[in-house]
Amino acid sequence: MNRHRPNHSDPAATAGMRHPHRKNPMLAHPLKIVAGLLAAGLLACAPAHAANGNASASLKNIKFQLIDLDLTDNISPSIDFFSTSASGYLSFFSSDPGIDETGYSNRFETVNKPFTYGGASTHNGPTSMRSDMHIDTPLPVWTSFVSTNQRLHFTLSPSTRLLFSAEAEVFVQDNGIKDTAANATLGGGFETTIDGVRGYESFSTTLSTNAGARSELLQGVLDTGSAIGTGVLAAGTSASFYTDQNTSPVPEPETYGMLLAGLLVLGGVARSKRRDQARQA
């Protein structure tokens, strides 16, 4: 007996046939969609620790001016610097994965210090000083600091005004850094003894920023009386970054939307599969 073999080219003959090993194209397409939506949502929820920034602080045209406060005492204003010092410090530290990179300077010079995730530089000159830093790191917890300092010890003639000044500039630009700062400072003080009574005078002025650029003329004044004054002038620049991003970020509304869309498509695919199984039964 000849068995009837259906002609596969005839749509009528094959309309009722099922192919158990052939994937349902209507099912595969939504699964690809949901996989893409879920992957995009999960990537958007993943914590992003990358942080980068640049910071600098400088003092330029550091100078002093002497003014005679008593033109009748026949004493010309004078200042004698008997000791000067300059120093610099550069560092990057992270406890995870255990990075501790440090550089030092102890004289008037320029120092460049590369870090694993950036670098820093210091400059100390007779009339200028500067601190610079740039960081680009994926680490979640870290801190970086750079500074320069100068100290000038002096004696000042009686009845003399000392005007100490410098042009200050500070700058900070950052992305994802928790705490930032750039500072430029001038300060000074001296001591006098008149008729057995000791007196002290001082000043301090600072230009700072946590974001953007600022500039200003910093200056301070010290006046001696009828006795010689002995003291110190100090100048400094610094920049610092600190971040702690252990807390997971809150997903944006668009992220929730992608996750919800993926779950809705997944639910629709599951319902469609259950209906197909019911028809086959």
pLDDT at position 226, please?
A: 87
Q: Would you place residue 194 in the very low, low, confident or very high pLDDT band (cuts 50, 70, 90)?
A: confident
Cα–Cα distance measured from residue 63 to residue 221, given in angstroms and rounded to the nearest whole number: 12
Specify whether the backbone of 127 is left (phi greater than 0), alpha (psi in -120 to 50) or beta.
alpha
Mean pLDDT of the region 262-277: 57
Judge contact between 119 and 105, C-beta under 8 A: no
Position 145 confidence tier, pLDDT thresholds 50, 70, 90: very high
Closest C-alpha to 124, from 219, 7, 236, 230:
236
The span from the CA of 80 to the CA of 156, in Å, is: 7
The whole-chain average pLDDT of the chain stands at: 82
Residue 240 has pLDDT above 50, yes or no: yes
Sort 184 into a burial class: Cβ within 10 Å, 0-12 / 13-18 / 19+. buried
**pLDDT tens, 81-105?**
999 999 999 999 998 789 999 999 9
pLDDT per position as a tens digit, 37-57: 545 554 444 445 589 999 999
The answer to which of 35-49, 153-167, 214-228 has the lowest mean pLDDT is 35-49
More confident residue, 192 or 10: 192
Contact (Cβ atoms closer than 8 angstroms) between residue 237 and residue 145: no
pLDDT of residue 100: 96
- SS3 state at 84: strand
Q: Residue 14 carries which side chain, given as an amino acid letter?
A: T
Which backbone phi and psi does 187 adopt, to 5 degrees? -155, 165
